Amino acid sequence: GPAMAAVRDVEIDPEGTFKYILVRLQRPGGGEQRDIVRGTGAAEFHNHIFEKVNPEMEKLGYECKCLGGGKIDHNSKDKKIRVFGLSTGYGKADHSVTVEILKKVYTDYEITWSDDKK
C-alpha cells in the first residue's frame, strides 16, 4: 500500500561508524511485508534504534520485528559502506540482505559486508 511505500528503505547517518538494525515491517494478519535499515551514532545500544523505530511504524499500522543488527561504516567521501559486526541483544543481521537494501538507495556506492567484529 501507499503507506508502506512512504517508509524509507534506509535511514542512516551520512558519515561515520555506528550501530544499525534490520527491521521487518508487516501488516498485522500477514500480507505485505518489507525490510528496512536504520542506523545512527546517536544510539549507544541497538535497542535504542528499535525503541525509536517501533512506535513510528506502529502509528502507520505496522508490526515491527528486529531481524538482527551490526555496524555500518559509512564513508561518504569515498562512497563506500561496510557492513559488519553484530548486536548482542538481537543477534547478527543477515548483512547480505542489508547490503541489497543499501544498494537501492546508495546506487553509486561500493558496498561490502563481512562477519568481522571490527
What's the pLDDT tens digit per position in 51-107?
Answer: 999 999 999 999 999 999 999 999 999 999 999 999 999 999 999 999 999 999 999
Range 18-36 average pLDDT:
92
pLDDT at 29: 85
The residues annotated as belonging to the active site are: 46
Sorting pLDDT into bands at 50, 70 and 90, what band is 6? confident
Lookup result for grid cell 502507520: 60
Residue 19 among known ligand-binding residues:
yes
- Compute the mean pLDDT over every residue in the chain, rounded to the nearest whole number: 94
pLDDT at 5: 73
Backbone angles phi, psi at 93, to 5 degrees: -70, 160
C-alpha dist (Å) from residue 67 to 1, 15, 44, 55, 113: 22, 24, 18, 17, 16
- Residue 111 pLDDT greater than 90, yes or no: yes
Class of domain 8-112: alpha beta
